[in-house]
């Protein structure tokens, strides 16, 4: 068995080098990391639609996904109950086989103290065959982004501060994203650019305006079939905020018999992440995953752990022309 693994790795060393050369080149550009407006997800490989509209329908499967994330679990405000940040996302992703396209939609609720962000987004992607196995996808996403502030949770040093005028308020702005995605065989690589409109939330007072800056996401992955039962999948996501600050996650995931998976991630200057998951039902249609983050930096101002639960369900593949499509629900999302 060991000899077979060594031979396999030697045969695929070129592919491995290409993937990690791209990843390394991007990571070498890293600078100081600033606060990112978009929520982060440890199980990003199951949540690709959020980062790139071009993946809508790209895997040929109709999938419903829900993720709940509790950031810095157990965190409490200094003087009263502030609560830890938490995020929920529910998404739908499906192909439109007759027109070589795909659609997707998601709703995100992201609560950060007295600030709450709510998104409702719809994606469309066109898929272009570029080789026997290759597929190049172009995507666009349109939606609404709502931001609300509960002023009652501020503790004003000077109650007469001129900024203390807007009270609780909510504003809704349009949102736009574009993306490109390529997959061929076991490769996947994509770039998504979110919040292209650079809209602002001013809450009726210019000094308090909060621009929604552009976020760029670069993702990539490759599946290595170690043997018939075991697949190793290295992947990465690079997150660029407003084209001037960068952070990244690197993950290695192992999948056994396309049913059980486990992996480990490193998030730049933030956390180590462990993941476990299991697929249920026929064709592994129902998947349950869990991620545990352990903070490795600035623990004195954060709680050291975060938790994330993922649940997804994939509808049965429709038979086309009397021929059954064989579905392989590996991490091809």
| pLDDT, tens digit, 9 for 90 and up, residues 99-150 | 999 999 999 999 987 789 999 999 999 999 998 889 999 999 999 999 988 7
Per-residue pLDDT averaged across 247-257, rounded? 96
Integer Cα distance of 185 and 58 in angstroms: 13
Contact 137, 126 (CB under 8 A): yes
Backbone angles phi, psi at 26, to 5 degrees: -70, -40
The residues that bridge with 32 in the sheet, in sequence order, are none
Per-residue pLDDT averaged across 77-102, rounded? 85
Closest C-alpha among 47, 9, 64, 36 to residue 251? 47
Residue 210 pLDDT: 73
Contact 273, 288 (CB under 8 A): no
Model confidence at 15, pLDDT cuts 50, 70, 90, reads very low
Average pLDDT of the chain, as a whole number: 82
- pLDDT beyond 60 at 235: yes
Model confidence at 29, pLDDT cuts 50, 70, 90, reads very low
Contact 266, 254 (CB under 8 A): no
The CA-atom distances, in angstroms, between 220 and each of 19, 64, 135, 193, 302 are: 8, 22, 15, 15, 30
Integer Cα distance of 46 and 44 in angstroms: 5
Q: Which residue has the higher pLDDT, 277 or 75?
A: 277
Per-residue pLDDT tens over the stretch 282-331: 889 999 999 999 988 766 667 789 999 999 999 987 665 545 555 555 54
- pLDDT beyond 90 at 57: yes
The DSSP call for residue 320 is B
Closest C-alpha among 249, 247, 171, 248 to residue 212? 171
Percent of the chain at pLDDT > 90 equals 57
Model confidence at 220, pLDDT cuts 50, 70, 90, reads very high
Residue 204 pLDDT: 58
Residue 211 pLDDT: 80
**Domain-wise residue ranges, the chain:** 2-314
Model confidence at 59, pLDDT cuts 50, 70, 90, reads very high
CATH annotation of 2-314? 2.40.160.40
- pLDDT beyond 60 at 333: no
- pLDDT beyond 50 at 241: yes
- pLDDT beyond 70 at 26: no
Per-residue pLDDT tens over the stretch 154-212: 666 766 666 665 555 788 999 999 999 999 989 999 999 999 998 888 765 654 567 88
Task: State in Å, rounded, how far the first CA of the chain is from the last one.
Answer: 30
- pLDDT beyond 50 at 64: yes
Integer Cα distance of 270 and 266 in angstroms: 8
Closest C-alpha among 57, 80, 61, 83 to residue 71? 83
């Amino acid at each position: 068995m060991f000899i077979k693994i060594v031979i396999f790795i030697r045969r695929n060393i070129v592919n491995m080098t290409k993937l990690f050369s791209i990843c390394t080149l991007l990571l070498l550009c890293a600078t100081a990391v600033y606060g990112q407006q978009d929520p982060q997800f440890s199980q990003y490989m199951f949540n690709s639609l959020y980062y790139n509209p071009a993946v809508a329908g790209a895997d040929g499967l109709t999938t419903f996904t829900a993720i709940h994330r509790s950031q810095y679990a157990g965190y409490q405000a200094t003087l009263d109950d502030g609560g830890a940040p938490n995020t929920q996302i529910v998404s739908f992703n499906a192909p439109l086989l007759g027109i070589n396209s795909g659609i997707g939609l998601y709703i995100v609720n992201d609560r950060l103290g007295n600030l709450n962000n709510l998104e409702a987004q719809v994606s469309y992607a066109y898929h272009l065959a570029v080789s026997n196995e290759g597929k190049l996808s172009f995507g666009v996403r349109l939606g609404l982004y709502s931001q609300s502030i509960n002023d009652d949770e501020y503790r004003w040093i000077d109650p007469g501060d001129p900024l203390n005028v807007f009270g609780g308020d909510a504003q809704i702005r349009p949102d736009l994203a574009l993306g490109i995605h390529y997959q061929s065989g076991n490769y996947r690589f994509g770039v998504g650019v979110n919040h292209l409109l650079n809209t602002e939330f001013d809450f009726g007072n210019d000094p308090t305006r909060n621009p929604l800056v552009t976020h760029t996401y670069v993702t990539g992955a490759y599946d290595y079939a170690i043997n018939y039962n075991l697949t190793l999948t290295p992947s990465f996501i690079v997150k660029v905020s407003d084209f001037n600050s960068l952070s990244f996650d690197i993950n290695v995931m192992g999948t056994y018999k396309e049913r059980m998976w486990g992996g480990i991630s490193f998030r730049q200057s933030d956390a180590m992440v462990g993941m476990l998951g299991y697929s249920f039902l026929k064709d592994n249609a129902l998947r349950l995953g869990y991620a545990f983050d352990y903070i490795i930096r600035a623990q004195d101002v954060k709680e050291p752990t975060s938790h994330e639960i993922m649940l997804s369900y994939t509808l049965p593949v429709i038979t086309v022309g009397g021929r059954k499509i064989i579905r392989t629900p590996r991490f091809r999302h």
